[in-house]
A and B are shown apart, each in its own frame.
Chain A
Amino acid sequence: MIRASSLAAWNSCERALDTLFGGALNPLRHLGALAFLFFLLLAISGVYLYAVFDTSVEGAWRSIDDLSRDQWWLGGLLRSLHRYAADAFVLVMLLHLAREWLHGHYRGFRRYSWLTGVPLLLFAFVGAIGGFWLKWDRLGQFSAIATAEMLDWLPIFSAAFTRNFLGNEAVSDRLFSLFVFVHIGVSLLLLFLAWFHVQRISHAEMLPSRPLALGATVALLTLALLSPVMSQAPADLSVAPGELAIDWLLLFIHPVMYATSPGWAWALSAGTLLLLFALPFATRSVRPPVARVDAANCNGCRQCFDDCPYAAITLLPHPDGKPGNEIAVVQGELCASCGICTGACPPSTPFRSVETLTPGIDMPQSPIGALRAQLEARLAAMGGDHRIVVFGCDHGARASTVEGTDVAAFSLLCTGMLPPSFVEYALRRGATGVVVTGCRENGCEFRLGNQWTGERLRGARQPRLRSRVPRERLRVAWADRGEEESLHAALRELRKLPRAVSGPIRRLQRGMR
């Protein structure tokens, strides 16, 4: 209930931003890629900061403070960018997590990505908190002591970490080497784990598109220029910090601990992580049938391999034994059951003169042959001036809502399952127009379904919609649930067109009769 209403609110925000940015540049649709961008900014600025950082008690504060005062135009700017990129990284990471949870993207074939994503939270916060210690000002002193007090609460540590900070004489240069190790080592571990996180998706968006990357980077650089990060007074372990300008996005756990207790802070941190880890196991969902390969019709063309959004298809030597022949093999546990592979499969074309249309790879619960049979039956039964076919998907705008005497609607597992030749086939079988619909741009439930479909229909990706198909008879309407008005608008446009289809398709229509 909470999730449903939160998802509705989230979708409203996404759509509002779609109107400003468009789907391709909408930050809310590219949160993972933005996180990688901010990590890249962290790495670039971090390399410079590490080069000038003095890992000694005397030099740590001075080396960083000098950057902001004597070299504000480079070192100071990079230092501020480093901090703000860390804040932005954590922010988009939390939003990414929230979005995937709201969409229920933590179960089934997505479980692996979820389980490898949750620990990134821990690594991000540990790495970020470690960065505050390095500059060794009052805030770094506060954070280091608060972390030590939290660690000391655990019974496994017999030696008190806090004793490292009892007085100025207790702090040695070696401690800063440890701080560097924590900050950089944990960040590298985070990067390593992030690599695992994207292993089970193909065509992973590692960086956002150039305008979005530029916008985000310029925003942070502007912030760094207008509000540069400055060190607070140098750390002094004989004096307790009083009022602190604290980075709430990264250091919130310290005030939480002092407001409650170290035990509560651990309970909150570990409890949240455990809850997130347990989420995929708490709900049980029925696994839909996965894609099935037909050896007789699979010629190992690799198009399903290229288009699968979840890297669920591999190619092995074909059982026919002919040298060089390959066959697609579906790894069931990785398969999303989206059918995008069927849409990519050349033998899915409905023009094949076989009684039962069997492609090289198909979805058992929604065979492409059944779609052809239903399409033929519906077109044959339709009368009137207009006969419009709507191909939609089970996740976007409901195609069934526009079903009528002059409209035949078909809902696929994903729009990416539609072989583009079905558009031409429908027109040659008497349709006066075709509407293809699916989730909003960059909002496909299966990541790439509407992107691949759009490219196939434009002739930019195999299998292509042939150029002789009159494009005025085709409308593409990317729309989410509840946005069925977009389909009605597309239908209104098609109904305004003359009934007769002109050009090569008309001649072919005659031939098929």
Chain B
Amino acid sequence: MSRAFSWIGQILLYAAFAAFIGVFTRWPSYQHLQPDHALVKLSLIHHGQRVGECRQLSAEELEKLPPNMRAPMSCPRERSPILVEVDIDGDTVLRQAAQPSGLSRDGVASVYQRAEVPAGVHRFDIRLRDSARTEGFDYERIEVLELRPAQILVIDFNAGKGGITLQ
């Protein structure tokens, strides 16, 4: 094989290697979110209610405890699982039940789900249940919102702000 042919072949192969990298670092483009769609994220970290009622200890019971442990109330450690549902225009689009974290199930319960919805006006009905001691949902929020294309709507929970929040 002639030296010139070898050189040309090598240059072409190096060019093919570079072209392969150059092409597949940007092509084909990836459509993460469909055009004219918005993204709804349900994300919350929440302590469920205690699974049982707190109880006032009697004087006799307190007497049996070491002096440094005589808390007047005795509360169960375990927390309730939480359940969240999101209806959009009457259809349940997001629904997740989450157990409390930790070996004693006394930690927070985490929920994360996402859904793509067409941009436009929608009716949101968000419900959260965080107590195993009562029936039905403990929190509910109904909103009618207009979502822009590519907008991200985050559904969260903040007890200090009145419960279910939208941002």
Contacts and interface: CB of A to CB of B under 8 A. Distances in A.
B9 A20 contact: yes
Given A166-B167, A223-B22, A239-B152, 5 more contacts: A158-B107, A158-B110, A244-B31, A244-B32, A258-B32
A27 B20 CA distance: 15
B29 interface: yes
Contact of A216 (B14, B19, B150): B14
A242 B31 contact: yes
B64 interface: no
A227 interface: yes
Contact of B10 (A20, A142, A149, A152): A20
Majority secondary structure of chain B interface residues (helix, strand, loop or mixed): mixed
Interface stretch (A4-12, A51-59, A245-253, A367-375): A245-253
B112 A152 contact: yes
B35 A242 contact: yes
Interface of A: 17, 19-21, 25, 27, 83-84, 87-88, 91, 142, 149, 152, 158-160, 162-163, 166-167, 215-216, 218-220, 222-223, 226-227, 229, 237-250, 255, 258
B38 interface: yes
Interface of B: 1, 6, 9-10, 13-15, 17-22, 24-27, 29-35, 38-39, 41, 43, 45, 101-102, 107-108, 110, 112, 114, 150-152, 154, 156, 167
A128 to B, nearest CB: 11
Most buried by A among B21, B41, B45, B167: B21
A30 to B, nearest CB: 13
11 contacts: A20-B9, A149-B112, A166-B43, A238-B152, A239-B150, A240-B150, A241-B33, A243-B30, A244-B32, A246-B30, A247-B24
Given A20-B9, A83-B25, A246-B26, A215 B14 contact: yes
Given A17-B13, A240-B38, A246 B29 contact: yes
A276 B41 CA distance: 36
B81 to A, nearest CB: 13
Contacts of A21: 6, 10, 13
A17 B150 CA distance: 48
A38 to B, nearest CB: 11
Given A241-B32, A242-B31, A242-B35, A163 B43 contact: yes
Contact of B29 (A227, A240, A244): A244
A160 B96 CA distance: 15
A159 B45 contact: yes
Contacts of A19: 1, 6
Contact of A242 (B14, B33, B108): B33
A255 B35 CA distance: 17
A142 B152 CA distance: 13
Contacts of A222: 18
Contacts of B33: 240-242
Contacts of A218: 14
Contacts of B156: 166
B27 A245 contact: yes
A238 B31 CA distance: 18
B32 A240 contact: yes
Nearest first, the 10 A-B pairs at minimum CB distance are A158-B101, A20-B9, A245-B26, A219-B14, A223-B18, A240-B39, A246-B30, A219-B18, A247-B25, A240-B33
Majority secondary structure of chain A interface residues (helix, strand, loop or mixed): helix
Given A20-B13, A152-B112, A88 B21 contact: yes
Most buried by B among A223, A247, A255: A223
A223 B39 CA distance: 36
A162 B45 CA distance: 11
Most buried by B among A91, A242, A244, A247: A242
A21 B19 CA distance: 19
Given A20-B6, A149-B112, A167-B167, A244 B43 contact: no
Given A20-B9, A240-B152, A249 B21 contact: yes
A17 B13 CA distance: 9
B35 A223 contact: no
A88 to B, nearest CB: 6
A204 B157 CA distance: 58
Contacts of A163: 43, 45
A21 B10 CA distance: 7
B24 A248 contact: yes
B150 to A, nearest CB: 5
Contacts of A27: 13, 17
A237 B22 contact: no
Contacts of A83: 25
Nearest to B11: A215
Nearest to A153: B112
Most buried by A among B6, B30, B34: B30
A285 to B, nearest CB: 35
A258 B116 CA distance: 12
Nearest to A246: B30
Nearest to A148: B112
A160 B43 contact: yes
Most buried by A among B18, B25, B112: B25
A243 B152 contact: no
A241 B22 CA distance: 22
A477 B22 CA distance: 39
B21 A223 contact: yes
Contacts of B25: 83-84, 87, 229, 247-250
Contacts of B151: 238-240
